[in-house]
Every structure is written in C-alpha cells, then in structure tokens.
Amino acid sequence: PNSLDLNEIEPCWNYPKDRIMEYGFTITSERTRHKVVNTLRYEWDQMPQELVDHFCMNFHLNLLQVHV
C-alpha cells in the first residue's frame, strides 16, 4: 500500500502549487503551457530551505510512528 504520509516529496508540492495559482494562468496555448512550466520550476527553486527541512523532519517523525 502507498501512503502519502510516507512519500517525502508529496508535501513539497503544495508550495509551488499554491504559488503558481497566484499567477492566474489559463492554459489556452502551447506558449502559456511553457510559461506555466517555467514558473513552476522557478517557484520550486524559490521554496525556502526551512520549509524543506520541516517536511524532512515530519517525514522522519512519520516513519518513527509507523515503525513503533
């Protein structure tokens, strides 16, 4: 069985997803799609390290709970 709690990258997707929604893209062309992809990459790169560290710590805590 798969558990999103035990997928270390899953929580990270909320940050760029929330950020990209602020741009208000409406995908109507290939050019817009490329803008969305480039913006998603940019926002992913801008994710604060502290947030990534927090997700990693939570992942380890979740692992400990499963292991116990």
End-to-end Cα spacing for the chain: 18
pTM, to two decimals:
0.67
Q: Are 66 and 30 in contact (CB under 8 A)?
A: no
Supply the pLDDT for residue 52: 87
Burial 47-68 (b: 16+ CB within 10 A, else e): eeeeeeeebeeebeebeeeeee
Q: What is the pLDDT of residues 1-41, one digit of tens each?
A: 566 556 777 778 889 999 999 999 887 899 999 999 999 99
Higher local confidence (pLDDT), 62 or 44: 44
Residue 8 domain boundaries: 4-67
DSSP state of 29: S
Supply the pLDDT for residue 54: 87
Q: What is the 3-state secondary structure (H, E, C) of 32-61?
A: HHHHHHHHHHHHHHCCCHHHHHHHHHHHHH
**Number of domains, the chain:** 1
